[in-house]
Amino acid sequence: MHVAVDAQNLLTDRRGIGVYLRAVLTRILADGGCRVTLLVRHPLPGLRKRALARELGSADFAVSSRIPRDASVVWHPWNGTFFRGGRRNVVTMHDVAPFAYPAAEVKKRRSQQGPFEISARTADRILTDSSFSKGGIETYLHVEPSRIAVVPLAAGEIFSPGKPEMLPAALQGQRYVLYVGTLEDRKNPGTLIAAWRNVLSSQGIALAMVSGGDLPGGVIALRELSPQRFRDVYRGALCLAFPTLYEGFGLPALEAMSCGTPAVVSRVASLPEICGDAARYVDEPRSVAAWELALSEIASSDALRADLSRRGLAQAAKFSWDTTARATFAVLSEAAE
């Protein structure tokens, strides 16, 4: 089998989809069960091979700017279809956020939704991260359930319990709550910031945010963390606070649980699937008062944190990138046949 893979953003996407693609592709290459061509938009695509090989720990692949004619199947892992012409196509749709939260401006909305709509028409199979996302694909894109396979993600092996060894200077000696995510409205960071200011800031408990963009005063901004430092930021936190309103999977929650860090999350979207009984849920994620209560409980109760840590480690152990890679390869094989 010859698999062509859209790797256009593989070198630049350091979170989310990039983590997913690198984890799965590394294992497919290590297994050696198929030929692989990585697709990049570049006038001299071969110039990208050395950097891609460093990223993946293998040079056992070809690089092309076009889908090879003999490709058995093309894998499009970036939510939409950006390379056209494959005889068989598998698309990964991690969520359908552009439909659940459509942009107000028409041109932007069409730009965001268009690649999904192309995929819905042209994909032989669609991979998605959760049953919640599968339902969204069926609802918004009218894809029949038989074309959709749920293949959950996982946390990387680096995320493991232990004492933090490489905390950023700003967090050393601090008690802090951690937020990991963008500042989009659907991530709901404003509610968390308000709750933290009301109940924890006066106790000397900081709020650390791994996020881009401008953050409000008093919040500790963490950017460009090495993998080891990122792991230790999780390890050192009182909890991960994840106030999102919509999530196709919720990788930060799984990463936190893998480190033994209590997870406080909204009871919405895919999060009950991912966190099981191992999180402190907030039933009204838009409610500042509800988040005040949850954060106060976590900060004041050693027993609650220890219980959530124990449950989280057990829940996180149910997910692995090896399982994700095997299931992904199986769907690619089915589509190719």
What is the predicted pLDDT for the residue at 90? 98
144 and 259 belong to one structural domain = no
144 and 189 belong to one structural domain = no
95 and 207 belong to one structural domain = no
At residue 36, what are phi and psi to the nearest 5 degrees? -130, 135
What's the rounded Cα separation, in Å, for the pair 225 and 216? 20
146 and 177 belong to one structural domain = no
Asked whether residue 159 is assigned to any structural domain, the reply reads: no
Residue 221, amino acid: A
100 and 50 belong to one structural domain = yes
Asked whether residue 70 is assigned to any structural domain, the reply reads: yes
At residue 97, what are phi and psi to the nearest 5 degrees? -55, -35
Residue 172, amino acid: Q
What's the rounded Cα separation, in Å, for the pair 331 and 329? 5
Asked whether residue 69 is assigned to any structural domain, the reply reads: yes
135 and 257 belong to one structural domain = no
The SS3 of residue 175 is strand
202 and 289 belong to one structural domain = yes
Q: What is the pLDDT of residues 249-296, one digit of tens each?
A: 999 999 999 999 999 999 999 999 999 999 999 999 999 999 999 999
Asked whether residue 85 is assigned to any structural domain, the reply reads: yes
109 and 187 belong to one structural domain = no
The SS3 of residue 280 is strand
> How many domains is the chain built from?
2
Asked whether residue 216 is assigned to any structural domain, the reply reads: yes
Cα–Cα distance list, 48 to 150, 152, 205 (Å): 32, 29, 45
Domain of residue 293, residue span = 169-316
Asked whether residue 37 is assigned to any structural domain, the reply reads: yes
71 and 176 belong to one structural domain = no
142 and 180 belong to one structural domain = no
> What is the CATH classification number for the domain harbouring 260?
3.40.50.2000
Count other Cβ atoms within 10 Å, centred on residue 26.
Answer: 16
Rg (CA), the chain: 21
182 and 309 belong to one structural domain = yes
Cα–Cα distance list, 62 to 5, 12, 27, 42, 76 (Å): 10, 19, 16, 14, 16
Mean pLDDT of the chain: 96
What's the rounded Cα separation, in Å, for the pair 251 and 272? 13
Count other Cβ atoms within 10 Å, centred on residue 329.
Answer: 19
229 and 327 belong to one structural domain = no
Residue 147, amino acid: R
What is the predicted pLDDT for the residue at 14? 80
Parts of the chain with a pLDDT under 70: none
Q: What is the pLDDT of residues 132-169, one digit of tens each?
A: 999 999 999 999 999 999 999 999 999 999 999 989 99
